């Protein structure tokens, strides 16, 4: 009896020691993960503070007029961010309009229609597009895509919409080959792998019995996708699209090659323009004055704020979709 009691006491002590050891390791793990999260927040705050400090001379000189002016003259030191902001927003929106339907279509094809032996090779080929450096896209766009676009598609679109109200303004002017529309198409190709890969992975999470039940009721593939798969995965699809939008807003080299780098706002999409990242990349090394450099840093601050607002709105929309789905 005494031996049994001692055995139980020792076993209880071992269990207590194990619990304490595991609790200490768990506390260490929680502290480590919290430190990682705090590092991200500190980096975010550090970048914001550095950008605000660097752009303060420009903010002090131009104020809110910096956001509403198209002037960009390094000789007279007159700078305005309206042209780059316009180019950034327009190219990103056009790229999303082109890339989102195509990306979702690719994901539908790979998950529902494509023969099984071809799914993996096609999926790998699409994902490899995301690994191509942006400067390669820029060189391809400048020396291959832009000349073809100038000789074929642009003249056709100009003649096709020349008598159509409103559209004749959007598709007007000489066919330069480079410009906002060309940059938008290059951007759409660059963000396409992100949309298609994320959407495909999300589609594969749909429980098979939901689709089988829809097919058993006589639904076609189109009806299954629109009424079962897309409603079930809408949060993930929107998240993938927002990820691609963040990439489009900050893309630099590919856009710099094909947008024309002109600080002007035109109604025509075929005209040359610029973006915030393209302006910084092409002119930062030439900034020989403190105010010139500060204006470019303020452009970076504006891009930082735009990206933050877009991603914050995306998170809010995702939460709204989750609450609606839960309701």
Q: How many CB atoms are closer than 10 A to CB 323?
A: 9
Q: Residue 312's pLDDT is what?
A: 84
Q: Residue 180's pLDDT is what?
A: 92
Q: What is the mean pLDDT of each run of 10 residues along the chain (327 residues)?
A: 54 60 75 90 92 91 88 86 92 93 90 85 82 88 90 88 85 86 92 89 87 86 87 84 86 88 86 90 82 91 90 79 64
Specify the CATH class of 65-326 in words.
Answer: mainly alpha
Q: Residue 20's pLDDT is what?
A: 65
Q: Residue 11's pLDDT is what?
A: 57
Q: And the tokens for 272?
A: 């040359």
Q: Residue 120's pLDDT is what?
A: 84
CB 177 within 8 A of CB 260: no
User: Rounded distance, CA 282 to CA 279, Å?
Assistant: 5
DSSP-H helix ranges across the chain: 2-62, 65-68, 82-108, 116-128, 134-140, 146-148, 154-160, 167-170, 180-203, 208-216, 221-224, 230-250, 253-258, 276-283, 290-326
Q: And the tokens for 62?
A: 């131009």
Domain regions of the chain by residue span: 1-62, 65-326
* Torsion angles phi and psi, residue 72, rounded to 5: -150, 90
Taking each helix axis from N to C terminus, what angle separates 230-250 and 180-203, rounded to the nearest 10 degrees?
A: 140
User: Rounded distance, CA 19 to CA 141, Å?
Assistant: 62
Residue-wise pLDDT tens digits, 122-155: 888 887 887 888 889 989 999 998 999 888 888 8
CB 251 within 8 A of CB 190: yes
Q: Residue 127's pLDDT is what?
A: 79
Residue-wise pLDDT tens digits, 160-204: 888 888 888 888 888 888 889 999 999 999 999 889 888 888 888
Per the prediction, the chain carries an average pLDDT of 85
Residues 6+ apart with CB under 8 A from 124: none
């Amino acid at each position: 009896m005494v031996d049994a009691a001692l055995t139980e006491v020792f076993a209880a002590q071992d269990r207590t020691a194990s619990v304490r050891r595991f609790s200490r390791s768990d506390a260490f793990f929680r502290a480590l993960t919290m430190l990682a999260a705090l590092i991200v927040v500190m980096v975010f705050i550090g970048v914001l503070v550095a950008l605000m400090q660097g752009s303060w001379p420009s903010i002090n000189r131009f104020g809110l007029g910096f956001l509403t002016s198209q002037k960009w003259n390094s000789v007279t030191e007159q700078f305005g961010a309206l042209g780059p902001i316009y180019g950034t927003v327009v190219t990103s929106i056009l790229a999303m309009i082109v890339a989102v339907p195509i990306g979702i279509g690719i994901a539908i094809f790979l998950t529902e229609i494509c023969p099984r032996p071809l799914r993996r090779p096609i999926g790998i080929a699409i994902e490899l597009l995301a690994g191509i450096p942006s400067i390669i896209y820029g060189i391809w766009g400048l020396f291959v895509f832009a000349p073809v676009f100038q000789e074929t598609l642009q003249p056709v679109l100009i003649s096709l919409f020349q008598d159509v109200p409103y559209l004749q303004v959007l598709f007007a002017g000489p066919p330069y080959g480079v410009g906002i529309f060309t940059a938008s198409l290059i951007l759409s190709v660059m963000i396409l792998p992100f949309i298609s890969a994320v959407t495909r992975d999300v589609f594969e999470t749909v429980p098979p019995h939901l689709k089988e039940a829809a097919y058993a009721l006589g639904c076609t593939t189109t009806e299954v996708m629109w009424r079962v798969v897309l409603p079930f995965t809408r949060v993930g699809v929107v998240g993938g699209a927002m990820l691609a939008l963040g990439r489009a807003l900050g893309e630099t080299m590919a856009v710099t090659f094909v947008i024309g780098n002109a600080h002007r706002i035109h109604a025509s999409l075929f005209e040359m323009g610029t973006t915030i990242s393209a302006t910084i990349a092409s002119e930062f090394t030439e900034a020989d004055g403190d105010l010139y450099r500060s204006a470019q840093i303020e452009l970076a601050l504006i891009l930082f704020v735009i990206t933050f607002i877009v991603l914050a709105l995306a998170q809010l929309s995702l939460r709204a979709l989750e609450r609606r789905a839960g309701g």
